[in-house]
């Protein structure tokens, strides 16, 4: 009977699926109007402070919102990993899959990378903030950095900067060396390639890319003067131009994006949307999972809220937790899986004592280095920008006018893991809006207003391998409460993190001494830092330390909160991403990283989901699905 109910529900759902159109299908005027409304949210949107909305009945006349029956696999979250899992597991016709997403359908504005930061001020962002930070975020309101997380189909892959940066080969060899067999670079490269369909041909290492996968990667069709100049100034300093996702990462390159022509290639667009009508897949949006049902150390299903009603659904084979490095720890702890002391503090019955939420690592970046050039770019109307976007041209095709990327190592050989990454924002420079998104005080928002949007460029220094670790914990045992996010930035006792960012600043200041920058008549812009100016000599090392602590912010790359490892005392999942001590439960998202990578996590998370999907198929079907 349960199977019959499930079939009927799936059939009814299939008839009701409505998939959003693409932004490219709208007229130029309609697109411009949508962008204008999105930008207007910057000053008007008010974030929620909890999850109460999930517990309130929105539609009194709505039918029972709960999905009936049971499923072989329940996927919690449809972000970077969840969409991949839904696609790959439903390739097996006999597998039934339910994907639960707390957010809504992905808004069409997500298609345009150039407006991505404005989605941070909408209901499609969970609206989290860090705790008060002692050593960073000091220029942000109340010394708390905003911590955007995607809340829609596609999750953070539909709201992020869209940069396709896999990481260094040694990152993954290090994962294996930590006791995780099967995660060395040679093991994971086939899965990077399986997911990818590269659409660009210049300066590409062909043997390291995929060309038949669901997820498109590309670069805008044009190379502006400043893009080439940024590449050339690196060459002046001894770097070489190369494909950083290829054989060697060390060098400078045009940025590669998750980009299908002019459109963001999120996990929703690439993996989930094309299979939404498969009869063995059900996707339930606005479904907030509050806990996993665990009996006798075995995951049996989940409880979730939808339209104010509590729903329960059972899993015949596995529960796959893909809610992200912030929300997955919260769900686990609310379910009784986590640090004993943390659960006891909130009166939660302990099922498995594991370091859930501990060991958090994050990339932070310093956006406080600016140059003025003799180039005036994109002094055009929004309608003209939309027309360029439809032709896969800048400035709206990449996010934030991003141009190039480079990697720098200050400790080991040049070809070893880099300490910092540089990425560059170019005209039109929307720095006042970025300042608002990053939560800066009014004083610093006004300082950013001093910049010229049409001539200036921003050099951003990203710390790739932080020594500082933080945590995700609970406010209470009530799922209405947001998790507590404390990245604990720049807290390493030796001060290596802060010193490495400063070393990056020193390199960034050398750009102005290159022949290329001199040809652009570049001028280093010394913006005021009132607190730092009052205490230190401008441009001194102490002054830069102060400036970094003031303006540095998160790049929204949390990892390792449910880290992979062989020992349950120091990790949460094993090398197959199975939760230690709990059967039929895996975590598949950035939280499982055992250590951070020299890249942006989205590409690696997609790779992980591809690899684990094959692992799951092989285990349950009794045959090899490995690439």
Question: Residue 231 and residue 236: Cα distance in Å, rounded?
Answer: 9
Task: Tokens 């970025």: give the residue.
Answer: 434
Choice among 120, 168, 580, 600 that is catalytic: 600
Q: What are phi and psi for residue 267, nearest 5 degrees?
A: -65, -30
Is residue 268 within 8 Å of residue 83, measured between CB atoms?
yes
Six token digits for residue 468? 């500082």
DSSP secondary structure letter of residue 403? E
Six token digits for residue 232? 């050339």
Is residue 301 within 8 Å of residue 72, measured between CB atoms?
no
Task: Tokens 């979250």: give the residue.
Answer: 77
Q: Does the annotation mark 600 as catalytic? A: yes
Task: Please choose, from the candidates 578, 479, 606, 559, the residue with its C-alpha nearest in 3D space to the C-alpha of residue 78.
Answer: 606
Residues 6+ apart with CB under 8 A from 338: 329, 332, 348, 352, 353, 354, 356, 357
Question: Residue 372 and residue 180: Cα distance in Å, rounded?
Answer: 47
289 is in an annotated binding site: yes
Question: Residue 333 and residue 197: Cα distance in Å, rounded?
Answer: 38
Residues 6+ apart with CB under 8 A from 350: 336, 340, 343, 344
- Please report, to the nearest 10 degrees, the dihedral formed by the alpha carbons of residues 343, 348, 351, 357 taken in order: -40
Task: Please choose, from the candidates 6, 160, 85, the residue with its C-alpha nearest in 3D space to the C-alpha of residue 323.
Answer: 85
Question: Residue 139 and residue 144: Cα distance in Å, rounded?
Answer: 9
Task: Please choose, from the candidates 165, 67, 86, the residue with its C-alpha nearest in 3D space to the C-alpha of residue 588.
Answer: 86
Six token digits for residue 44? 């008007």
Six token digits for residue 527? 């913006």
Question: Residue 401 and residue 112: Cα distance in Å, rounded?
Answer: 12
CA angle 601, 604, 607 (to 5 degrees): 150
Task: Tokens 């020992």: give the residue.
Answer: 567
Choice among 168, 209, 557, 580 that is catalytic: 557
Question: Residue 58 and residue 494: Cα distance in Å, rounded?
Answer: 52
Strands (E) in 60-174, as ranges, are 70-76, 97-100, 128-129, 146-147
Question: Residue 29 and residue 148: Cα distance in Å, rounded?
Answer: 29
Strands (E) in 487-591, as ranges, are 523-525, 553-554, 585-587
Is residue 7 within 8 Å of residue 281, measured between CB atoms?
no
Strands (E) in 224-356, as ranges, are 252-254, 259-260, 263-264, 281-284, 288-295, 298-306, 309-321, 337-338, 352-353
CA angle 349, 354, 358 (to 5 degrees): 115
Half-sphere exposure of 95 (CA within 13 A, CB side): 23
Question: Residue 408 and residue 251: Cα distance in Å, rounded?
Answer: 8
Helix (H, G, I), strand (E, B) or coil at 349: coil
**Strand-strand pairing, 309-321 and 70-76:** parallel
Active centre residues (catalytic): 557, 600
Residue list, annotated binding site for FAD: 289
């Amino acid at each position: 009977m349960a199977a019959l109910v499930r079939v009927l529900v799936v059939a009814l759902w299939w008839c009701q699926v409505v998939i959003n159109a693409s932004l490219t299908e709208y007229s130029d005027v309609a697109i411009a109007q949508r962008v204008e409304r999105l930008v207007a949210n910057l000053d008007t949107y008010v974030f929620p402070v909890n999850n109460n909305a999930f517990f309130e009945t929105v539609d009194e006349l709505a039918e029972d919102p709960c999905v009936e029956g049971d499923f072989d696999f329940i996927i919690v979250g449809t972000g970077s990993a969840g969409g991949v899992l839904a696609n790959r597991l439903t390739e097996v016709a006999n597998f039934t899959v339910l994907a639960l997403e707390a957010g809504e359908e992905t808004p069409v504005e997500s298609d345009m990378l150039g407006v991505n930061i404005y989605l941070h001020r909408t209901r499609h962002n969970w609206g989290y903030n860090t705790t008060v930070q002692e050593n960073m975020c000091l220029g942000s309101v109340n010394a708390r950095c905003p911590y955007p997380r995607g809340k829609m189909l596609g999750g953070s892959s539909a709201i992020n900067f869209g940069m396709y940066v896999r990481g260094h080969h040694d990152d993954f060899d290090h994962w294996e060396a930590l006791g995780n067999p099967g995660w060395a670079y040679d093991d994971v490269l086939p899965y990077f390639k399986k997911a990818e369909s590269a659409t660009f041909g210049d300066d590409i290492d062909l043997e390291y890319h995929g060309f038949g996968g669901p997820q498109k990667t590309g670069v805008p069709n044009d190379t502006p003067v400043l893009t080439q100049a940024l590449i050339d100034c690196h060459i002046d300093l001894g770097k070489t131009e190369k494909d950083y996702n290829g054989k060697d990462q060390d060098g400078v390159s045009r940025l590669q994006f998750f980009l299908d022509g002019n459109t963001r290639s999120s996990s929703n667009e690439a993996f989930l949307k094309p299979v939404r009508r498969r009869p063995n897949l059900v996707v339930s949006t606005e479904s907030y999972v509050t806990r996993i049902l665990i009996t006798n150390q075995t995951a049996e299903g989940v409880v979730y809220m939808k339209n104010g009603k509590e729903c329960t659904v059972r899993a015949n084979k596995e529960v796959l937790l893909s809610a992200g490095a912030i929300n997955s720890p919260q769900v686990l702890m609310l379910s009784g899986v986590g640090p004993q002391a943390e659960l006891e503090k909130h009166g939660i019955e302990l099922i498995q004592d594991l370091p859930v939420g501990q060991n958090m690592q994050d990339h932070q970046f310093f956006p406080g280095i600016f140059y003025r050039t003799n180039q005036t770019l994109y002094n055009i109307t929004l309608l003209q920008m939309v027309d360029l976007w439809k032709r896969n041209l800048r400035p709206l095709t990449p996010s934030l006018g991003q141009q190039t990327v480079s990697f720098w190592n200050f400790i080991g050989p040049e070809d070893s893991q880099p300490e910092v990454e540089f990425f560059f924002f170019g005209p039109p420079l929307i720095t006042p809006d970025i300042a608002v998104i990053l939560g800066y005080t009014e004083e610093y928002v006004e300082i950013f207003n001093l910049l010229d949007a049409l001539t200036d460029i921003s050099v951003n220094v990203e710390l790739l391998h932080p020594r500082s670790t933080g945590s995700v914990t609970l406010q209470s045992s009530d799922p209405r409460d947001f998790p507590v996010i404390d990245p604990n930035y720049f807290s390493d006792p030796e001060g290596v993190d802060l010193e490495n960012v400063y070393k990056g600043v020193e390199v960034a200041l050398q750009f102005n001494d290159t022949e290329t920058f001199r040809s652009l008549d570049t001028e280093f812009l010394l913006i005021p830092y009132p607190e730092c100016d009052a205490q230190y000599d401008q441009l001194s090392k102490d002054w830069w330390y102060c400036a970094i602590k003031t303006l540095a912010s998160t790049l929204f790359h949390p990892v390792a909160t449910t880290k992979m490892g062989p020992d349950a005392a120091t990790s949460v999942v094993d090398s197959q991403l199975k939760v230690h001590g709990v059967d039929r439960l895996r975590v598949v998202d950035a939280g499982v990283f055992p250590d951070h990578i020299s890249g942006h996590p989205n590409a690696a998370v997609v790779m992980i989901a591809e690899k684990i999907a094959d692992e799951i198929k092989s285990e349950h079907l009794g045959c090899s699905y490995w690439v």
